[in-house]
Structure 1
Amino acid sequence: MYQPHRAPRVESVPIRTLRYQTRVWPAERPDGKAPPLVLLHGWMDVGASWQFVVDAFDAPFAAARTIIAPDWRGFGGTRPPTRCDHYVFADYLADLDQLLDHYAGDRPVDLVGHSMGGNVAMAYAGARPARIRRLVNLEGFGLPATQPAQAPARYAQWMEQLRQYERGEMDLKTYASADDVAARLRKTNPRISADKAAWLARQWAAQQPDGRWAIQGDAAHKIVNPQLYRVDEALALHAAITAPLLSVHAAGDSASGWWQGRYSLAEYHERLRHVPDARSAEVQDAGHMLHHDQPQAVARLIEDFVLA
Structure 2
Amino acid sequence: MPDVYTPRRLHRGEFLNLRGLRHHILRWGEPRAGQPPLVMVHGWMDVGASFQFVVDALKGDREVIALDWRGFGLSETTGADCYWFPDYLGDLDALLDAVSPAAPVDLLGHSMGGNVAMSYAGVRPQRVRRLVNLEGFGMPDVSPAAAPERLAKWLDELKDPPTLRPYATLADVAERLRKNNPRLPAAKAAWLAGHWARETPQGFQLNADPAHKLANPMLYRKAEVLACWQRITAPTLWVEGSDDQLTRFWGSRYPREDFEARLALVPGLARTVLQDAGHMLHHDKPEALAAVLEPFLA
> Residue type matched to 1:38 in 2?
V
Q: How much has 1:26 moved relative to structure 2? A: 2.5
> Residue type matched to 1:17 in 2?
G
Distance 1:269 1:130 in 2: 26
SS in 2 for 1:12: strand
Aligned residue number for residue 16 of structure 2:
13
Deviations 1:187-233 (A, max 9, x none): 111000000000001110111123x1111011100011111111111
2:174 pairs with one of 182, 185, 190:
182
SS in 2 for 1:174: coil
**1:203 corresponds to 2:195:** yes
TM-score computed with the length of structure 1 as normaliser: 0.94
SS in 2 for 1:217: coil
**1:280 corresponds to 2:276:** no
Distance 1:97 1:9 in 2: 21
The answer for unaligned runs of 5 or more in structure 2 is: none
Aligned residue number for residue 39 of structure 2:
38
Q: How much has 1:96 moved relative to structure 2? A: 0.4
Aligned residue number for residue 67 of structure 2:
70
Deviations 1:84-142 (A, max 9, x none): 21100000000000100000012100000000000000010011000000000000000
Tell me if structure 2 keeps the 8 A contact 1:253–1:265.
no
Distance 1:265 1:24 in 2: 36
Aligned residue number for residue 120 of structure 1:
116
Deviations 1:143-197 (A, max 9, x none): 00111111111111111111111xxxx1012110000011111111100000000
Aligned residue number for residue 238 of structure 1:
229
Q: How much has 1:279 moved relative to structure 2? A: 1.6
Tell me if structure 2 keeps the 8 A contact 1:106–1:131.
no
1:3 pairs with one of 2, 6, 15:
6
Distance 1:295 1:266 in 2: 28
Distance 1:49 1:188 in 2: 14
Aligned residue number for residue 298 of structure 1:
289
Dislocated runs of 4+, deviation >6 Å: none
Distance 1:241 1:223 in 2: 30
SS in 2 for 1:43: coil
Structure 1 range deviating more: 147-156 or 115-124: 147-156
Distance 2:177 2:144 in 1: 37
**1:267 corresponds to 2:264:** no
SS in 2 for 1:292: helix
> Residue type matched to 1:7 in 2?
L
Distance 2:215 2:256 in 1: 23
Q: How much has 1:273 moved relative to structure 2? A: 1.1
TM-score computed with the length of structure 2 as normaliser: 0.97
**1:252 corresponds to 2:243:** yes
SS in 2 for 1:73: coil
**1:100 corresponds to 2:96:** yes
Aligned residue number for residue 156 of structure 1:
152
Tell me if structure 1 keeps the 8 A contact 2:32–2:63.
no
> Residue type matched to 1:149 in 2?
A
The answer for unaligned runs of 5 or more in structure 1 is: none
% identical equivalent positions:
52
> Residue type matched to 1:46 in 2?
V
Distance 1:223 1:119 in 2: 19
Distance 1:304 1:88 in 2: 35
Q: How much has 1:44 moved relative to structure 2? A: 0.4
Distance 1:304 1:264 in 2: 31
